[in-house]
Amino acid sequence: MPKQTPLSSTKKTASLAKALKENKEATQAVEKAADDLAVVHAVLDSELPKEVVSSDVDRAVEQTSELEKQLSASSEKLKKVNESLERELTNSKA
Protein backbone atom coordinates (compact mmCIF):
# COMPACT_ATOMS: atom_id res chain seq x y z
CA MET A 1 0.00 0.00 0.00
CA PRO A 2 1.48 3.39 -0.96
CA LYS A 3 2.49 5.64 1.86
CA GLN A 4 0.30 8.73 2.10
CA THR A 5 2.22 11.95 2.27
CA PRO A 6 0.93 14.88 4.29
CA LEU A 7 -0.24 17.93 2.44
CA SER A 8 2.44 20.46 1.81
CA SER A 9 2.42 23.57 3.93
CA THR A 10 1.23 25.63 0.96
CA LYS A 11 -1.67 23.25 0.29
CA LYS A 12 -2.62 23.23 3.98
CA THR A 13 -2.57 27.02 4.05
CA ALA A 14 -4.67 27.21 0.89
CA SER A 15 -7.14 24.69 2.31
CA LEU A 16 -7.41 26.61 5.57
CA ALA A 17 -7.85 29.90 3.72
CA LYS A 18 -10.62 28.40 1.60
CA ALA A 19 -12.34 26.88 4.64
CA LEU A 20 -12.13 30.20 6.46
CA LYS A 21 -13.59 32.10 3.50
CA GLU A 22 -16.47 29.64 3.13
CA ASN A 23 -17.11 29.61 6.86
CA LYS A 24 -17.20 33.42 6.98
CA GLU A 25 -19.74 33.41 4.14
CA ALA A 26 -21.84 30.86 6.03
CA THR A 27 -21.59 32.97 9.18
CA GLN A 28 -22.86 36.02 7.31
CA ALA A 29 -25.74 34.02 5.82
CA VAL A 30 -26.75 32.68 9.23
CA GLU A 31 -26.52 36.16 10.78
CA LYS A 32 -28.69 37.60 8.00
CA ALA A 33 -31.26 34.82 8.41
CA ALA A 34 -31.35 35.42 12.17
CA ASP A 35 -31.80 39.16 11.64
CA ASP A 36 -34.53 38.61 9.05
CA LEU A 37 -36.30 36.16 11.30
CA ALA A 38 -36.10 38.59 14.22
CA VAL A 39 -37.84 41.21 12.06
CA VAL A 40 -40.54 38.71 11.05
CA HIS A 41 -41.04 37.79 14.71
CA ALA A 42 -41.27 41.42 15.77
CA VAL A 43 -43.82 42.23 13.05
CA LEU A 44 -45.93 39.18 13.79
CA ASP A 45 -45.75 39.75 17.51
CA SER A 46 -46.63 43.44 17.38
CA GLU A 47 -48.85 43.78 14.31
CA LEU A 48 -51.35 41.01 15.00
CA PRO A 49 -54.02 41.85 17.58
CA LYS A 50 -53.98 39.18 20.28
CA GLU A 51 -57.74 38.67 20.06
CA VAL A 52 -57.57 37.58 16.39
CA VAL A 53 -54.51 35.38 16.65
CA SER A 54 -55.27 31.68 16.37
CA SER A 55 -53.32 29.17 18.42
CA ASP A 56 -51.48 28.10 15.23
CA VAL A 57 -50.37 31.65 14.52
CA ASP A 58 -49.41 32.10 18.16
CA ARG A 59 -47.26 28.95 18.00
CA ALA A 60 -45.72 30.18 14.73
CA VAL A 61 -44.80 33.49 16.37
CA GLU A 62 -43.17 31.64 19.26
CA GLN A 63 -41.37 29.34 16.84
CA THR A 64 -39.87 32.33 14.99
CA SER A 65 -38.45 33.50 18.28
CA GLU A 66 -36.91 30.09 19.00
CA LEU A 67 -35.50 29.81 15.47
CA GLU A 68 -33.95 33.25 15.74
CA LYS A 69 -32.27 32.22 19.00
CA GLN A 70 -30.97 29.01 17.41
CA LEU A 71 -29.62 30.87 14.39
CA SER A 72 -27.93 33.42 16.65
CA ALA A 73 -26.32 30.62 18.67
CA SER A 74 -25.16 28.94 15.45
CA SER A 75 -23.71 32.23 14.27
CA GLU A 76 -21.72 32.54 17.49
CA LYS A 77 -20.38 29.00 17.06
CA LEU A 78 -19.39 29.78 13.48
CA LYS A 79 -17.57 32.91 14.65
CA LYS A 80 -15.56 30.78 17.11
CA VAL A 81 -14.67 28.35 14.32
CA ASN A 82 -13.61 31.32 12.19
CA GLU A 83 -11.34 32.53 14.98
CA SER A 84 -9.78 29.06 15.27
CA LEU A 85 -9.27 28.85 11.53
CA GLU A 86 -7.69 32.31 11.48
CA ARG A 87 -5.30 31.32 14.29
CA GLU A 88 -4.38 28.09 12.50
CA LEU A 89 -3.89 29.95 9.24
CA THR A 90 -1.66 32.52 10.95
CA ASN A 91 0.34 29.75 12.66
CA SER A 92 0.77 27.82 9.42
CA LYS A 93 2.15 30.92 7.68
CA ALA A 94 4.67 31.53 10.45
Report the alpha-carbon distance of residue 48 to residue 64 in Å, rounded: 14
Q: According to the model, what pLDDT value does residue 15 have? A: 86
Q: Exposed, middle or buried by CB within 10 Å (0-12, 13-18, 19+), for 30?
A: buried
pLDDT of residue 28: 93
- Give the pLDDT means over successive 10-residue stretches in the chain (94 positions): 61 86 92 89 76 76 87 92 90 76
> Domain locations in the chain?
13-93
* Sign of the four-CA dihedral 29, 34, 38, 44: positive
Residue among 59, 83, 79, 61 at smallest CA distance from 71: 79
